[in-house]
Amino acid sequence: DAGVIQSPRHEVTEMGQEVTLRCKPISGHDYLFWYRQTMMRGLELLIYFNNNVPIDDSGMPEDRFSAKMPNASFSTLKIQPSEPRDSAVYFCASSPGQVTDTQYFGPGTRLTVL
């Protein structure tokens, strides 16, 4: 298996622009997670899906952030409009979902908002 795939790996944009991050989970995993990692706050869970349905979005910082999972093999995290404080590394992870299972992380997307 190729693991969790994220694109793009790096994104540089200007404040006010729309940003879309993409994720392909491991086939057969029922859970998909979006995380954000910053120096100040560490790694934080933004939202997670079970069988394509959003379960917990309490970590989504503002209405500017939205996430979708239209099918079992694809998810997007969108920021509109982007702000400099959104600069971070965004990780996608997937999991079979049992308590005994770990989460498998993608390589991340490094976002820089100028």
Partner 1 sequence: KQEVTQIPAALSVPEGENLVLNCSFTDSAIYNLQWFRQDPGKGLTSLLLIQSSQREQTSGRLNASLDKSSGRSTLYIAASQPGDSATYLCAVPFRQTGANNLFFGTGTRLTVIP
Number of helical H runs and strand E runs in the chain: 0, 11
Find the shortest distance in angstroms from Cβ 87 to partner 1. 16
3-state SS assignment for residue 86: helix
Does 54 help bind partner 1 (rule: CB under 8 A)? no
Does 102 help bind partner 1 (rule: CB under 8 A)? yes
Q: How many angstroms separate the CA atoms of 15 and 29, rounded?
A: 35
State which H helix or E strand residue 75 sits in.
strand 74-79
Does 31 help bind partner 1 (rule: CB under 8 A)? yes
Beta strands 10-13 and 65-71: pairing type? unpaired
Among 48, 60, 88, 113, binds partner 1 (CB under 8 A): 48
Say if CB 23 and CB 32 are below 8 A apart: yes
Does 72 help bind partner 1 (rule: CB under 8 A)? no
Does 75 help bind partner 1 (rule: CB under 8 A)? no
Does 34 help bind partner 1 (rule: CB under 8 A)? no
Does 65 help bind partner 1 (rule: CB under 8 A)? no
Say if CB 59 and CB 42 are below 8 A apart: no
**Contact region for partner 1 (CB under 8 A) — 11-19, 40-48, 62-70, 79-87?**
40-48
User: Residues interacting with partner 1, by CB under 8 A?
Assistant: 4, 31, 33, 42-45, 48, 50, 55-56, 91, 93, 95, 97, 99-100, 102-108
